[in-house]
Structure 1
């Protein structure tokens, strides 16, 4: 079941008092053009994001957060413009600029933005929603000035660099993104269908964020420039910087690079516009799916309305995990494979949503699903709100607030969002209060106001050719849009504001002196039952994160029982002999803790996150899960049925089909050739006794591992972990070989997916097992400029130059038992054959001619400067420590890797390329419309073999 989360829990933290806005000691007092607004300081005993807020004379809001715990800086530029600012017939412009802003600006060459940040050891991205667009990067702190130069250049010096060629290329990229995320994905058109039915024509939320392709096709480059000129001025933006920064020095740099950018047109906040429905609107559409879906959406309020918080609590009661009413009435009794409730909120409007996918074995229709959902609402009326309902929400809220503080990027994004939508980075004081103050009466009031006897949009998504299976006949037609007559924007119509500088912006700033990055201080322990513990202390938040790894993963199962490891892990998330799954879920939620058990290739993994004050109580529940599972037949039957339906449904996804075929072709008849979830045949044959037998044989503590990141000392944490020593036993050692298959290489295996808008491609072969300082690691370095970065040869060719795909690349992967090399991409259906040609050209050329001097330099800088990001968060530390424990590494391997990066020669890299990139040794997998693709692929000269999953 989809996990329910309270809206906005990750947008803030507990507040503290603000200092007076006239503070005479502020760093801005001697910087012309910068005005101090306010300061929020840390207070003992409170969870807070300290910050200082400033405004430049041109209207740019600047928020600075100093965090010296890691030598990192995170920069976020949020523009208060999303798809809601677009005009009718010109949808998708905001999202389009999310792409254009990475294509170079006046002083940054084409394709250089990603390269500069990657070479700096950073990571970057951008996102667009209905109400804002943000661009962000995390880099070593000595690279901060370079990031400010980059962001300022695309804010103030973009338009002259927007060429017709770039415009056309990114238009194709957006089409590919839509193809991959909407048209070629099951249920991909649901959200835009709901929006079109919910809101009246012309409402800012009535069109999808990604836009309609007709609108993008109609637009010209000057339309886009005019949109940018209107909305992307500094006075409609918030620049938030956090991390290891000097506040005064940072302000000087911000003013230097941003201060001369002229203001844009004034921007007025949009007024809330919640939808109003006079009657239920039934809408349906057909899709290439296995399971039908019903989606009910009630209009409610708008972002941060006083009723938003109680509506979130209502969503928790109705659909929040195993304790919810929908889970009881639909999922637990196997009427539905999935059911969930949510209350997504945006700046102008919110909706209360309920969805369900009926279980085929139940024989229930979408009409039946609707009735159960409506009966559940009546049941809620009779049940009312219980004390635990409020306790769970408030505990989860506290936990989510605190866990949101574990990265500088998380803190910066919270500050930026609060400023953008409330003009108050410290809005969290109100946020905390409104959730803590929700009463039972509030929840019942909002139910009666917005849900009971109210109208909704009810969308049925049905399999192709089965329109009669909709919940009810359509009574609402989504009519063709009324598009105003297109008035072409001329170049002279675009207002370009130009800055007047006293320095040369064409000169990229040099990085400062890099600060040393320290490997976390680690400690070792071994519990009396044979579990090895590797831990480190992290004092940033009062939390503990644990990863327990038991040698009982997918490799331990027989291929005839593929899927049993995964099902056993799922059963450990269900009832124990002491309490029901619902009671277990309730106890964990009241602690604000999360425990998730899953299977990977080698291990059964137990991921635990808890507030340290609740660690012992959480571990007591973990011990109960691991030592006293109930293995109830009805729970196994439910999970088995959900797994089977998931397998069937996955076959509608091109990416899944490609990976499934690729796994089978690379491996002989062994467990690695099968998906981790199993196949329909193997899972159908399993019984609850098989899961119990698997547990009894393999799920034992001896030779297990615990990786721990906590604010506790070693001595303190070990006291808590000793509660696990009552669990005893040792399972059999892994005895497995994974031979490669004898599949024919150098040919194309074609998997049919009728009418696919995109084709999924995999090209590769079996390769090296994983190591950290040997040939596997060196081959990773070799592949980096070919397929391992955004600006790799493969991605620049297929995405940026040709516009065939939303993304493509290549990578080495492996574990102790096996490894592989894989090139991948999902490409436009009409460019499938051309994409194969380009993949082959890039791989062959690299194998024959090797790495360039520029690429070698880029790889050295990019890889070695990433260390600052390796250990920032508890999650990152868990991954790092997990590698050390699993592969018995010395912490010095990091220094050894750095030395390899600095000293590996061009000749050695080129030798590895020749050795590992022989296309004649590789299999080609293509998933798409076979009747169209077969003649095209054969025309390339390949033997094409039909392959069925």
Structure 2
């Protein structure tokens, strides 16, 4: 589903510090832990205005560094949109003492991860690294804060301008629903309002500006006095203070920056806008202007949004989704620094809804129903439980805590607002919710956006009555800026040496045997009072009956519906009031039953899991609704170039007669054939303890968890086997498989071949090591060639992907349609060159450091610990497999990996998949002298 449809509840990203214990807390202690509401930190300001926040957390040997600049697209001038995002890219292109592309290389080689992000109100850059690498990160960040402009060249400017255009094409112009947010902003905000254009900007603005415009933007906004440096993790605070002063203290202040004033808007009448798009499911989005972030009415509006459209307990779910008129319906209240929006979204089921005006009518009727019904005690209880659970789960990563401190300081000059957030939401009353409903929602004018399939404007909720006025671009003249030199005695010429490497050990885990001989692995972690538990049933889609592919997927969905003792809504309400989650899903080889809860609510949550697993109701109404939703989703996926490319890849690799060549959810024909009797039969046969395993990460003792799962005694079921695979296609020559996607502005590409399945220390592991310099990271050969040198893609990578029995090698990218053939040729050139000449000595050392040092980041959160346990169980790995891997990495030779390259990268039989506009690209493809086979994947 498009990102615009993801439910956005009260995005608090809360976190705080707790004291670790050595035994399972008693219930009273658990209550005290969850009511702790402070993030321990130190805050101070350097003479140049840089705000510094330090948070010490010694639970894992890592640090997270965040530099947030209070500048986003809202600081841009009319006609110069996209600058803030553009500079996010430029800040990775080297600075005075850091060579081109070296920021990524240095952090990756240090075993870390890094990225940046831009929104309308801020830009941030962040790195998570082993604790001994902190000084190196501060050196890097200070160099691009104080010494960037000297390294900004016309060549880099042109390269990143191409990259940004490719990113826009991939994420917006070539994606279904990709332009929804941009069209809404244009209609909701007046011309010139800082939120009236998208963060990524307009292509014509990017084409218009010069490198001097970009430099002037940096000089205006990227000074230390407009930045917050936040450092969290296993730090020595005094040493960290000294390093911060050393590297940042001498950077000159930038121009003074005034805090922006909120600019909420209002409309006098509804603005109807129609967007034709390459979609199957029409979408209706009603956007009403409200307040601004941390306005007193923000919290009650958030609660109102959750009551109306926050999941299965909501009125939108009841009236739109459960009725079958919408595939999905959500309400959210996203807030930003200058303004907030109340959004009501419904994705139509075209099988029942012929015009979006029908959904608009149902939404208005739902609002009237809410006005009559009012706010219940359950409504408020769910909200408060969600806040508490979100607070505790926010503890699970240093990055989450650092990000919270950084954002709160940037916008509100107060890093720790956790207690204030909890207070303001807990104080929301029913009267508050009704008041904001009447003030901002009832009979309010907004933007009514209809997204309809191309050529079907008659489906819109109403005829368009709003036209975006012509853009009036001022003549700004030549850009002017002053770059302030930095004068200090710091030796910035060489990369600081890392301290002693931290000692990293895999999580200490325990093993138990549950009733029905089910194996359980667990990690006892006292960092947060939470439980993460999953029951894994091997088989998944491999067990689907022939001709009814998608049965496993649909069965899992049915287990999330009504049970013998709970209606759908009652189950959702019970979980929401605990702040817990229990979800059943089927993907690939496994069906998973997942639980997360606060420890104090574990027993109640586990009882709900038991109810779902052992007593599903399998109601005909639930089945009919979910089957229709899955079929509509499949039809929508046929509009996505990426989905089509993945489907074509799997078919080429494994053949149409094998289950693994089809999506988890099946095809239109196979899902149409599935009956409720099939679902019941699949559940009875394969929801069995015979091939089940359990992993758990919590503050509970092994005995406590084992006793809690004693209900497995009631779980009955026989063992089962997996069907054999049919023969796979034998490719004796290179072929292009072309899937026509009329109107595509990019071509989605794969170059693939079958390869070995997963192993921890054998051929597959060596192939992964070999591939890293080729396409396994940002600084890999393929990505640097296609993205940085040629400027024809946003990203390109290669990888070996291995499961329990199958594996393959792939190179994947999305490129400008004009450069489709160029990209294919470049990929084969890169593969052939690497196979013939192998990796360099520098690439070998880079790979060894990146793979070895990254261990410090592997096991921080309960999720990562649970992933480690599932890996152990799924592949029956030795307890010390990670030690064996590290020994291989330390000792492997370049000759060994180059032999692997020669064995694995023979390109003569590799297959090419292209999803693009045939009319535009066929001439290019024909020039490659590779046979072309056209394949149709879209059902009529």
Name the TM tier (shorter chain).
over 0.9
Tell me the residue number matched to 2:638. Answer: 651
Structure 1 residues 91 and 5: CA distance shift in structure 2, 3 A: closer
Q: Paired residue for 1:945, among 930, 933, 938? A: 933
Tell me the residue number matched to 1:933. Answer: 921
Tell me the residue number matched to 1:36. Answer: none
Structure 1 residues 382 and 44: CA distance shift in structure 2, 3 A: closer
The question of whether the paired residues in 1 share the 8 Å contact of 2:38 and 2:419 is answered with no
Deviations 1:758-809 (A, max 9, x none): 1000001110010001110010000000011111000001011111111000
CA distance in 2, matches of 1:15, 1:896: 35
Structure 1 residues 861 and 98: CA distance shift in structure 2, 3 A: same
Deviations 1:52-109 (A, max 9, x none): 1011000000000001011000000000000000001100000001100001100000
**Residue 391 (structure 1) shift:** 0.3
CA distance in 2, matches of 1:567, 1:735: 20
**Residue 581 (structure 1) shift:** 1.0
CA distance in 1, matches of 2:725, 2:564: 37
Tell me the residue number matched to 1:156. Answer: 146
Q: Paired residue for 1:512, among 476, 495, 499? A: 499
CA distance in 2, matches of 1:401, 1:11: 5
Tell me the residue number matched to 1:187. Answer: 177
CA distance in 2, matches of 1:281, 1:215: 26
Q: Scaled by the length of structure 1, what TM-score is found?
A: 0.96
SS at match of 1:919: coil
The question of whether the paired residues in 2 share the 8 Å contact of 1:318 and 1:324 is answered with yes
The question of whether the paired residues in 2 share the 8 Å contact of 1:12 and 1:426 is answered with no
**Residue 606 (structure 1) shift:** 1.3
**Residue 733 (structure 1) shift:** 2.6
1:540-939 to 2 correspondences below 5 Å:
540-668=527-655, 669-737=657-725, 739-743=727-731, 745-939=733-927
Asked if residue 359 in structure 1 is aligned to residue 359 in structure 2, the reply is: no
Tell me the residue number matched to 1:21. Answer: none
CA distance in 2, matches of 1:812, 1:910: 16
**Residue 483 (structure 1) shift:** 0.9
CA distance in 1, matches of 2:670, 2:715: 31
Tell me the residue number matched to 2:22. Answer: none
Structure 1 residues 508 and 610: CA distance shift in structure 2, 3 A: same
SS at match of 1:599: strand
Structure 1 range deviating more: 720-729 or 621-630: 720-729
**Residue 44 (structure 1) shift:** 10
CA distance in 1, matches of 2:37, 2:501: 30
Deviations 1:507-529 (A, max 9, x none): 11011100110111110001112
Q: Scaled by the length of structure 2, what TM-score is found?
A: 0.97
Structure 1 residues 845 and 130: CA distance shift in structure 2, 3 A: same
Asked if residue 7 in structure 1 is aligned to residue 10 in structure 2, the reply is: yes
**Residue 601 (structure 1) shift:** 1.9
Structure 1 range deviating more: 442-451 or 814-823: 814-823
Tell me the residue number matched to 1:131. Answer: 121
Tell me the residue number matched to 1:39. Answer: none
CA distance in 2, matches of 1:724, 1:437: 41
CA distance in 2, matches of 1:588, 1:682: 33
The question of whether the paired residues in 1 share the 8 Å contact of 2:14 and 2:390 is answered with no
Tell me the residue number matched to 1:485. Answer: 475
Structure 1 range deviating more: 48-57 or 156-165: 48-57
Asked if residue 142 in structure 1 is aligned to residue 132 in structure 2, the reply is: yes
1:259-270 to 2 correspondences below 5 Å:
259-270=249-260
Deviations 1:25-45 (A, max 9, x none): xxxxxxxxxxxxxxxxx9996
**Residue 742 (structure 1) shift:** 3.0
Tell me the residue number matched to 2:438. Answer: 448
Deviations 1:877-928 (A, max 9, x none): 0111111111111221011000111111111111111111111121100010
Asked if residue 215 in structure 1 is aligned to residue 205 in structure 2, the reply is: yes
Tell me the residue number matched to 1:425. Answer: 415
The question of whether the paired residues in 2 share the 8 Å contact of 1:64 and 1:242 is answered with yes
**Residue 721 (structure 1) shift:** 2.1
**Residue 242 (structure 1) shift:** 0.4
The question of whether the paired residues in 1 share the 8 Å contact of 2:511 and 2:519 is answered with yes
CA distance in 1, matches of 2:535, 2:456: 46
Structure 1 residues 745 and 641: CA distance shift in structure 2, 3 A: farther
CA distance in 2, matches of 1:884, 1:937: 44
Tell me the residue number matched to 2:162. Answer: 172
- Runs (5+) with no aligned partner, structure 2: 20-31
Asked if residue 76 in structure 1 is aligned to residue 63 in structure 2, the reply is: no
SS at match of 1:352: strand
CA distance in 1, matches of 2:719, 2:307: 41
Tell me the residue number matched to 2:314. Answer: 324
The question of whether the paired residues in 2 share the 8 Å contact of 1:15 and 1:426 is answered with no
Structure 1 residues 517 and 825: CA distance shift in structure 2, 3 A: same
The question of whether the paired residues in 2 share the 8 Å contact of 1:13 and 1:432 is answered with no
CA distance in 2, matches of 1:932, 1:4: 37
CA distance in 1, matches of 2:887, 2:913: 37
Structure 1 range deviating more: 770-779 or 44-53: 44-53
The question of whether the paired residues in 2 share the 8 Å contact of 1:527 and 1:722 is answered with yes
**Residue 14 (structure 1) shift:** 9.0
Q: Paired residue for 1:535, among 522, 527, 532? A: 522
Q: Paired residue for 1:303, among 265, 268, 293? A: 293
CA distance in 2, matches of 1:223, 1:618: 56
The question of whether the paired residues in 2 share the 8 Å contact of 1:665 and 1:743 is answered with no
CA distance in 1, matches of 2:161, 2:733: 36
The question of whether the paired residues in 1 share the 8 Å contact of 2:16 and 2:40 is answered with no
Tell me the residue number matched to 2:325. Answer: 335
**Residue 618 (structure 1) shift:** 0.5
Deviations 1:409-430 (A, max 9, x none): 0110011111111100112221
Tell me the residue number matched to 1:247. Answer: 237
Structure 1 residues 636 and 312: CA distance shift in structure 2, 3 A: same
**Residue 943 (structure 1) shift:** 1.4
The question of whether the paired residues in 2 share the 8 Å contact of 1:14 and 1:428 is answered with no
Deviations 1:325-380 (A, max 9, x none): 11111100101111111000000000000011221211441010100001100000
The question of whether the paired residues in 2 share the 8 Å contact of 1:462 and 1:470 is answered with yes
The number of equivalent residue pairs is 921
**Residue 6 (structure 1) shift:** 2.9
Tell me the residue number matched to 1:22. Answer: none
- Runs (5+) with no aligned partner, structure 1: 17-41
Deviations 1:256-303 (A, max 9, x none): 000000000111111111111011111112111111111100000000
Structure 1 range deviating more: 213-222 or 557-566: 557-566
Deviations 1:158-192 (A, max 9, x none): 00100000000000000000000000000111101
**Residue 745 (structure 1) shift:** 3.7
The question of whether the paired residues in 2 share the 8 Å contact of 1:551 and 1:699 is answered with no
Tell me the residue number matched to 1:20. Answer: none
SS at match of 2:135: helix
Q: Compute the RMSD of aligned alpha carbons.
A: 1.4
**Residue 486 (structure 1) shift:** 4.5
Structure 1 range deviating more: 7-16 or 321-330: 7-16
